[in-house]
Structure 1
Amino acid sequence: MRVGIDVHMLGDRSGGNESFYRGILSGMTPDSGDEYYLFVNSGVDVTEYEDRFNIVYFKKNSSIYRNCVELRKLCKKYNIDVLHTQYYLPFFAPCKTVVTIHDLSFEHIKDIFTKSEYIKDKILVSHAARKADMVVTVSEFSKQDICTTYGTDPSKIEVVYNAVDSDFTVLPKDAKIRSEVRNKFGIADDKYIVCVSNLQPRKNIPRLIRAFNKYSDNTGLDHKLVIVGKKAWMYDEIEKSVSDSKDKVILTDYVTKDELIALLNEASGCVYPSIFEGFGIPPLEAMACGTPVAASDIPVMREVLEDNDLFFDPMDEDGIATAIKTLLETDCKANTEIVGRYSWKKSADILKQVYKKAQLG
């Protein structure tokens, strides 16, 4: 079997979408007799995968050209049996297809995308969910959502969970990078809570900032809120909220994996206030680093984090402020056992079976 995997998101710093594919590829070894081809944007370093995969670079870093023209050409050129893409499928694909759909947030929450992005997703994601031979998603919550929203047969949807890289762990107290990230991002010796999230409306950052300011003003405690993640889209309200916070809120922008691990290790707690997710990797990464987590009380967080001790209503500023108070003023512990329930190797093995099922379907 010859499998082509569209991994154009590698190197684009897209958060969970990129993490899913990096994690899957780290745990995947093609079965004997199978050949896997990674279709990658030019200029991206993928040397770590060259021992197990054939690397093919796209000629153009254009999403329209990639989906409408180039993927079809590559499938024919390399005699691909199964093509695996993310969210969108080429029209009239010349082989069997698998599509990863992480979530359908755009179907449920107004005004979290630009009008053009909303229309594109509305047309192309629904097409992919209906036409793909197999659909991959990252939680039972998202599987049910895809079935309900698009009428997709549940038998052709497979849940392939996210996981956490083994690099996320508790660092030695004297690890040099602990002080380096504090100096680099202007945290100095202050205590802080951390939120790991791209800056976009679904992540609920302005409400988190208001809740943090409310807690800080009421208690007078000199803590900071460190928000880790790159600017994605529609982030003007977030930047305004930060500017109104009198240096109590720090935006780091994109950070390296090593920097993220150090920031999580140094934090007093992690708050994850997202109002809609397909999975949500950052809370697990924080737990792996020994940092307690307060997460949105939404169905997928209950599924992924299960018996985590601390959940809050993401639409309630007072509830978020109370969660922050609990993280900073009580002896919260990270439930590291939750992290061990997820494995990139296990997820990669499931995905290989999805490819075989698609080929035979």
Structure 2
Amino acid sequence: MTSRPPSATPGPGLRIGVDARVLDERYHGIGRSTYELLAAATTAHPDWEFVLFTNRTQRTDRFDLDALTSRPGVRTASFDHELTAVSQYLRWPAALRAARVDVALFPYHLGAALSGRARRFAIVHDCILEADPRFAPDRRTRLLYMLLTAAVVRRTRVLTPSRASADDIARIYRLGRARATVGVVRWGVGDAFAAEVPAPTEVNGLPIDGPYLLHVGARRPHKNVGHLVRVLDRLPAEYRLVLVGSPDPRWPDDVDDLVAEHDLGDRVLQPGKVSESDLIGLYAGAAAFVYPSLIEGFGLPLLEAFAAGTPVVASDIPVFREVAEGAALLCAPDDPDAWAAAVTSLVAGPSTGAQVARRRQKLVAAGRDRAAGATWDRAVQDLAGALDPSGPRTAAAAAPPAPTSSTTAEKVSR
């Protein structure tokens, strides 16, 4: 089959091939961001065509793939290779040629083909595995991951969701002058998280009662979830900690040991995976959302909590300063006393009710404003800017630089 010449601009007639194998239960944040970006792009650009490459083994209950693939201009193509299989590198060029795509988008960058005619864009979401050997399952996996990522960032146009992540990529992979080729496509938050919904009284058989702190995310070392058990131990006994997400068997998990050590078994609730409706309700009902990560590429749960009108206490790290833009209380991720003080500052007592209520209301309003500006339509605009070869070299110009904690983030010091 003779391939048509690639389009010169991301305008009418652009055909985008997307590695949609990430729309699977195994890929939490990557799957969410890919689905929302595609849903928004197919609405904002009905003149674009999308070819979604899928395989027979992927499964998801979170995303309505039938609705997505039935939209005008969207079709699927079979690509029956696992997302991390070496065999895919030999198969992608032919698959992209057969689909006659102008642009290939790889939401999980390791799938990026290393040859082929289509312009390739790979989304490197973060540099978590590179940051610390503890954050990788084992040394071999970390080495192979970094070797493949190095090949991708030097041969493929790289996109990432934050300026902080772009800086990490440029620094770790020594891009030098080529750092300008890393484009920023800022993620958004879905309207569903802003819905007025009641907090659930039970999730997966666990009663949800009393004020609670909420954490959402897989239990991996960089998430620093054990820190929250230490924080809870410093809070009044009526407070609970709800941990949405499960341990990853590839890493040790210290949560249960810490719960036993501090005798908090009746105060730490672990519902595991929850439904979308329960998740939205848990955000809405939380006294605070707590996110003590040591490193992230973006931090989508921050925006979800902002949209739900829930105050946020998060780690004082560059990406959270960038994402929060002053709408969260930021604390050192190794200081449980500071975290306990931050949470307490949002909880009214007999003599501080009015003052705390004003502080909480101000933080909630700032979060809602932040979420309102972080739309998936904006993400599509960033993507269109990155795809346009006649425009700026990257979408980075559209994204503000990562702020410093002293100027833009509300911070609780040690």
Compute the TM-score of the two structures, normalised by the length of structure 2.
0.78
Deviation of residue 81 (structure 1)? 2.4
Partner residue in 2 for 1:76:
97
1:327 aligns with 2:350: no
3-state SS in 2 of match to 1:230: coil
Instruction: For 2:224 and 2:88, locate their aligned partners in 1 and report how far apart those are by CA, in whole Å.
Output: 31
Cα deviation code 1:224-245 (max 9, x no counterpart): 1001123334143234334543
Indicate yes or no: 2:220 matched with 1:223.
Answer: no
Q: Any stretches of 5+ residues in structure 1 without a counterpart?
A: none
Residue identity opposite 1:227 in structure 2: L
- Residue pairs, 1:1-361, within 5 angstroms: 1-29=14-42, 31=45, 34-42=48-56, 43-44=58-59, 46-50=65-69, 51=71, 52-61=73-82, 63-65=84-86, 67-85=88-106, 86-88=108-110, 89-115=112-138, 116-132=140-156, 134-152=157-175, 153-172=178-197, 175=198, 178-179=199-200, 182=202, 184-213=204-233, 215-216=234-235, 219=236, 221-232=237-248, 233-244=250-261, 245-329=264-348, 330-331=356-357, 332-333=360-361, 334=364, 335=366, 336-357=368-389
- Tell me, what secondary structure is at the counterpart of 1:25? helix
Give the match's secondary structure for 1:144: helix
Specify the code of the residue in structure 1 equivalent to 2:79: F
The CA deviation at 1:189 is 2.5
Report % sequence identity. 25
Structure 2: stretches of 5+ with no match in the other structure: 1-13, 349-355, 394-414
Q: Indicate how the Cα distance of structure 1 residues 46 and 188 shifts in structure 2: closer, same or farther if over 3 A, else same.
A: closer
Aligned counterparts of 1:170 and 1:32: Cα–Cα separation in 2: 27
**Separation in structure 2 between the aligned mates of residue 205 and residue 297 of structure 1, nearest angstrom:** 15
Q: 1:123 & 1:342 partners in 2: Cα distance?
A: 33
Instruction: Check 1:67–1:60 CA distance in 2 against 1; reply closer, same or farther (3 A cut).
Output: closer
SS at match of 2:18: strand
CA pair 99-62 structure 1, distance change in 2 beyond 3 A: closer
Give the whole-Å Cα distance in 2 for the aligned partners of 1:273 and 1:171.
26
- For residues 249-297 of structure 1, the C-alpha deviation after alignment (integer angstroms, 9 at most, x for no partner) is 1112111221110011111111111110111011111111111111111
Using the size of structure 1 for normalisation, the TM-score is 0.89
Moved more, 264-273 or 185-194: 185-194
Consecutive aligned runs of 4 or more in structure 1 exceeding 6 Å deviation: 358-361
Query: What SS class does the counterpart of residue 149 from structure 2 fall into?
Result: helix
Query: Residue by residue, what CA displacement relative to the aligned partner does 1:179-213 show, whole Å, maximum 9, x if unpaired?
Result: 35x25352342221101111111000011212212
The amino acid across from 1:355 in the alignment is: L
Give me the whole-angstrom Cα distance separating, in 2, the residues matched to 1:113 and 1:252: 25
Amino acid at match of 1:313: A
Please tell me the root mean square deviation across aligned C-alpha atoms, in Å: 2.4
Instruction: Say if 1:82 and 1:359, in contact at 8 Å, map to a contact too.
Output: no
